Amino acid sequence: MTNLYASEQDLAVALMQTEALDCRSNADVSANVDSLCAGVQWAARAFPGIDLVVFPEGSTQGAPPQTDPRLYLDIPSPLIQRLLDVCSAEGVWALFNILERRDGTDSKPFNSTILVNTRGKIALTQHKINPFVPTEDSWPGNEIRVCPGPKGAVFGVMTCYDGDFPEVARDLAAQGANVLLRPSSYMEPYSEPWSFVNRARAYENLAYVIAVNRFGITHRFNWFGGSMAVDYLGRILAQAPLGVRWTTKVDIAPRLADRARAEFKTHNHLHNLKHRGYAGQGPDGDQSNVYGVYRNWK
């Protein structure tokens, strides 16, 4: 549930569980951008002081697979500029997901998430690391990035299937991300894994997880919604219902995740991963890498 007595230091986040057109024309893409801009405006007015508005994966051109190169978007482009302008006009951060034209060609696009700041600038672009096999034919990203945000937040993005891999969240956390943003088009029959995976990524990394999932039924998939905010101990703070359009607002405290990482002795997985057994061995523990999967990457 949302804390009605949130501190001014807390980060106010709107989780926008929306339904988008699976685009067949540029007019469809423009209509989705209209909806995104209206969503940012609505959130800014409904929740005065909102810091961040998060939309699902696939909310600009529709969910993958999307194979028509005429629908890919360039950065910059007029439609992308509209998303930047609405953030600047409303004075909020927002997260949008797009199919981005790669290298100016009609080859396979990037599944890109952009994080836009209050000045209407792209603060972070994250290409999806793990496109969903076998249905998503976008090009995999090769770099995991984080960026500083308001009120002590350090943002990292794990797009949909990326969140199923502990390594993506761990890399983000190791770079200092204390708020993991997960825009998703997660479909049935995976509503059970959706919940426990989001909680696990938060618990493993002492990080907040903001997981925003699409809803709606298409010719191919049933997107179930169930968007959620999870705290750094893996506790669900707020959750949208299944199968409906819904907005959930939650206040989180990135500074508390940082404090937990600095002060926790038990269940401090980020520290204990690289300082094994320090209670018995000494203050720094065993710092050797015993994990063959990371030594012998093939």
- Can you list the domains of the chain with their CATH numbers? 11-264 (3.60.110.10)
Mean pLDDT of 149-174: 98
Give the pLDDT score at 1. Answer: 40
HEC profile for 55-77? CCCCCCCCCCCCCCHHHCECCCC
Tokens of 33: 């951008």
Q: What is the pLDDT of residues 113-157, one digit of tens each?
A: 999 999 999 999 999 999 998 889 899 999 999 999 999 999 999
Count CB-CB contacts under 10 A for residue 10: 19
Percentage of the chain beyond pLDDT 90 is 84
Q: Is 96 helix (H, G, I), strand (E, B) or coil?
A: strand
pLDDT at 243 over 60: yes
Confidence of residue 6 (pLDDT cuts 50, 70, 90): low
The full length of the chain comes to 298
Contact 202, 234 (CB under 8 A): yes
Percentage of the chain beyond pLDDT 70 is 97
Residue given tokens 């320090």 in the structure block: 278
Tokens of 211: 């997981």
pTM of the predicted model as reported, rounded to 2 decimal places: 0.95
Q: Which residues on adjacent β-strands are paired with residue 148?
A: 154
Give the pLDDT score at 195. Answer: 96
Query: Phi and psi for 163 in degrees, rounded to 5?
Result: -70, -15
Query: Phi and psi for 68 in degrees, rounded to 5?
Result: -90, 110
